[in-house]
């Protein structure tokens, strides 16, 4: 089948990004049709990466660190007790610094209590259906800067390859239509390149300080969170011979 050959060509030629700048010579001896086409492939997310973290202020380094240590360990203990394995939790960021920003509305007493700030964050990998539970457990334990979830597929390479194959199949259809309009016959693919999509910009994490305080005093249910569908796109440049 021609489409199967096209899919194989994508796998073999998709890494030749530098060749995308190739210039096709236009003259009476150039018996080719060049086409650029884009397409997508989608699948349901089978992995959720939940971003959790907290921020705490203090009047000095020692007390701020002590408060942060208490919250940090409380969050870890809560996650582990809920069934999250150690290997699913990865540290993302942790720092203790002087607080150089103060709300203009803060009183002098409030500012004195916020001379230092400690931030810590983690990522937790889990099944999509468990993402809301992981977030809920962390927030109840004090994770007041949490909420972002990255929905992923564990076979992103396969999804990208499928998008490239779809784009190349689309390019073949366009080339075939062009050949018919020129009253010539399409004889085969002689060159193809795949342009990888740009990485998406990660949104800012959702702040949940107020929710964390409320969740401790009220037995609220976890947020209603639905997994997203994962989509990859591909743009293919293909050259077909004609006769």
Q: Using pLDDT thresholds of 50, 70 and 90, give the confidence band for residue 28.
A: low
Q: Tell me if residue 39 falls in helix, strand or coil.
A: strand
Phi/psi at 77 (5° precision): -60, -40
Which residue is associated with the tokens 């699948």?
43
CA neighbours within 13 Å on the CB side: how many for 223? 20
Give the C-alpha separation, 47 to 215, whole Å.
Answer: 26
CB atoms within 10 A of CB 100: 6
Q: Determine the pLDDT at residue 170.
A: 97
Q: Determine the pLDDT at residue 24.
A: 56
Give the C-alpha separation, 21 to 23, whole Å.
Answer: 6
Give the C-alpha separation, 133 to 164, whole Å.
Answer: 36
Q: Determine the pLDDT at residue 102.
A: 85
Q: Could you read off the pLDDT of 134-175 as tens digits, one per residue? A: 999 999 999 999 999 999 999 999 999 999 999 999 999 999
What domains lie within the chain, and their CATH numbers? 2-44+155-198+232-242 (3.30.110), 47-152 (3.30.70.2970)
Share of the chain above pLDDT 90, in %: 70
Which residue is associated with the tokens 């000095």?
60
Is the pLDDT score of 77 beyond 80? Answer: yes
Q: Determine the pLDDT at residue 195.
A: 80
Is the pLDDT score of 192 beyond 60? Answer: yes
The pLDDT mean for the chain works out to 84
Q: What is the CA radius of gyration of the chain?
A: 27
Give the C-alpha separation, 182 to 180, whole Å.
Answer: 5
Give the C-alpha separation, 164 to 93, whole Å.
Answer: 36
Residues in Cβ contact with 86 at an 8 Å cutoff, skipping those fewer than 6 apart: 80
* Residue 187, H or E segment: strand 186-195
Q: Tell me if residue 56 falls in helix, strand or coil.
A: strand
Q: Determine the pLDDT at residue 8.
A: 34
pTM of the predicted structure, to 2 decimals: 0.71
């Amino acid at each position: 089948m021609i489409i199967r050959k096209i899919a194989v060509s994508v796998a073999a030629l998709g890494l030749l990004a530098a060749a995308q700048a190739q210039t096709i010579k236009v003259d009476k001896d150039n018996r080719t049709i060049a086409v650029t086409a884009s397409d997508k492939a989608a699948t349901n997310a089978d992995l959720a990466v939940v971003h959790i973290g907290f921020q705490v202020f203090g009047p000095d380094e020692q007390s701020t660190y002590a408060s942060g240590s208490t919250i940090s360990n409380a969050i870890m203990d809560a996650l582990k007790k809920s069934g999250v394995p150690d290997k699913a939790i990865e540290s993302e960021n942790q720092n203790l610094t002087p607080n150089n920003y103060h709300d203009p509305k803060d009183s002098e007493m409030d500012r004195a209590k916020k001379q230092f700030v400690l931030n810590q964050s983690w990522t937790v990998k889990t099944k999509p259906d468990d993402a809301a539970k992981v977030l809920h457990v962390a927030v109840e334990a004090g994770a007041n800067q949490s909420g972002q979830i990255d929905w992923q597929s564990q076979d992103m390479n396969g999804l990208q390859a499928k998008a490239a194959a779809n784009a190349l199949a689309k390019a073949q259809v366009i080339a075939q239509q062009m050949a018919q309009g020129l009253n010539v016959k399409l004889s085969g693919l002689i060159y193809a390149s795949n342009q990888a999509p740009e990485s998406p910009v990660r949104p800012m994490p959702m702040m949940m300080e107020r929710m964390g305080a409320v969740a401790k005093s009220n037995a609220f249910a976890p947020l209603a969170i639905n997994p997203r569908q994962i989509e990859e796109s591909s743009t293919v440049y293909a050259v077909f011979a004609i006769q």
